[in-house]
Structure 1
Amino acid sequence: MDRSVRRPFVLGICGAQGSGKSTLSEALADRMRARGVATAVLSIDDLYRTRAERMALARDVHPLFAVRGVPGTHDVALGLDILAALDAGRAAALPRFDKARDDRAPADAWEAAPGDTALLILEGWCVGARPEAEAALAEPVNDLEREEDADGRWRRAANAALAGDYQALFARLDLLVLLAAPGFEAVRDWRVEQEHGLARAAGAGAQGVMSDAEVERFIRFYERLTRHILAEMPDRADLVIRLGRDRTPLSISCG
């Protein structure tokens, strides 16, 4: 690496689904750009593996890996390559994931972070997460795990993935902010509200929009790690913003 190049400051923003992390990230990026600071935003959702790659995981590891979400369904190596390029002062293409198609968007739809990027905001529901202890994996946390992962193979594989390259990615964070939901129960309401907004924007009959029942099942994939993050991360995050059920900030504390 050229030591004359100043590597970008990497700000991690972690928050459960619907907590407002993407809105906050974009607002902060706009503010910093207005001040002349070259800023890029990367969502961990945009690092999801392609649909074909997840189908292979579903076949070879566990059927539940067909659904995007848990550690193991992200292309962490791609994220590390982006950081390495920016650290070296090179421009980097930022992937985009098309949730309507449940697949990675074509490369011509990607954006580019310039080589002089001074601030990279890495946001996502599990940014900065640490793996659970092995003993915590024994008991299922919901019906999805109880009925479709009775032997714990899926959750153990996801936890092992989180303990691997994800930690190398998160080690690059210079500062970690947690948007702390008041509990997992609020996340369900936020996610349903989010999907209703997507449905209104997409129009009647749009593909890729989930029903309330589908959202209810979908968030069960995220429940275990979301609960773990809410219990474990507040003690070590650099900044914790505790939210009310209406997402109003109730308190802000520094680690």
Structure 2
Amino acid sequence: MTPPSDGPALDAVAEMLARDLAGAPGGLFVLGLCGAQGSGKSTLAAALKERMERSGAASAVLSIDDLYLRRAERAELARTVHPLLRTRGVPGTHDVALGLEAIAALERGEAAALPRFDKAADDRADEADWSRAAAGTRLLILEGWCVGARPQAEAALTEPVNALERADDADGVWRGFANAALGGAYQRLFARLDRLVLLAAPGFEVVRRWRTQQEEALRARVGANGAGVMTDAQIARFIQHYERLTRHILTEMPDRADLTIRLGEDRAVRGIRALD
């Protein structure tokens, strides 16, 4: 198995970036890297950062997961809009302005603090623990499960896609709120992407297994009772929050992503297609 953080996927994205940076006049270049939970996008982003810096391009990585709203802010959304918004995940549970502020600072050539979210505490980390992108950063890799996504048509929201939506969002308020948020501020963030790369899972069905493997690795590090560790039943419910948009991304994004890297169930690269 060749994971996407090594071999042909890393080479293909790095070569595309090298061409783009060589042909750009200067300033900040933003790469969007999208992939379902467990697809290896964070590992690929780190490998890309290392390779591009070796080639002389100062680089930084920002995960959309690090833009999640504070726990208290999501609790307020749960109270005023819909209870499911207490759980981080869907559009509407991120502080998009925070990401735009970081990009704006980097565009000015300044150093920028990059937010960090503590998933064990389910809250934003203290600013003292945020990383910093250096002044003169040339490449920002914005990675995340919904980076570059577009909203669904209203008609597509009518029918629930899983048990969570049927039982807890029968009236469609939660998914409607998320879809409207995606069509708003998130599009301003994604409009700043210069390139979009998709790590395409073979289907949503494999995502639960990938996410469970991630959790097993966490359990091995911190123990089954460690902070933030989920049971298999909790994972099964958690990923249902992501199912609708993940399926939508896998259907529509390959036709417009600059580079689509198709993965097998073992995460090995099965094919790479550049946009014509």
Q: TM-score, normalised by structure 1?
A: 0.97
1:129 corresponds to 2:163:
no
Which residue pairs with 1:96 in the alignment? 116
Unaligned runs of 5+ in 2: 1-24
* Equivalent position amino acid for 2:235 in 1: V
Post-superposition CA distance 1:106-164 (Å, at most 9, x none)? 00000011120000000000000000000000000000000000000000000000000
Percent identity, aligned pairs only, is 68
What is the SS of the residue equivalent to 1:37? Answer: coil
C-alpha contact (below 8 Å) 1:11/1:173 kept by paired residues? yes
User: After the TM superposition, which segments of 4 or more aligned residues of structure 1 sit over 3 Å from their partners?
Assistant: none
Aligned partner of 2:13 in structure 1 is: none
Instruction: Find the residue that maps to 1:120 and give its secondary structure.
Output: strand
**Which one-letter code corresponds to 1:125 in the other structure?**
W
Q: What RMSD over aligned residues (CA atoms) do the two structures have, in Å?
A: 0.9
Partner of 1:80: 100
1:6–1:89 CA contact under 8 A, matched in 2? no
Would you say the 8 A contact 1:40–1:113 is kept in 2? yes
1:117 aligns with 2:124: no
> Structure 1 residues 153, 22: CA separation in 2 closer, same or farther (over 3 Å shift)?
same
Contact kept in structure 2, 1:6 and 1:87, CA below 8 Å: no
Q: Pick closer, same or farther for the CA change 1:142–1:252 going to 2, 3 Å.
A: same
Residues 1-255 of structure 1 mapped to structure 2, 5 A cutoff: 6-255=26-275
Aligned with 2:60: secondary structure?
A: strand
Letter in 2 for 1:111: S
Contact 1:90-1:115 at 8 Å conserved across structures: yes
Whole-Å Cα distance in 2 between the matches of residues 162 and 227 of structure 1? 15
1:231 is paired with a residue of what secondary structure? helix
CA deviation map 1:27-74 (0-9, x unaligned): 111111222211000000000000011001101110000000000000
In the other structure, the counterpart of 2:5 is none
CA–CA distance in structure 1, aligned partners of residues 112 and 27 of structure 2: 13
Rounded Cα–Cα distance in structure 1 between residues aligned with 2:116 and 2:71: 13
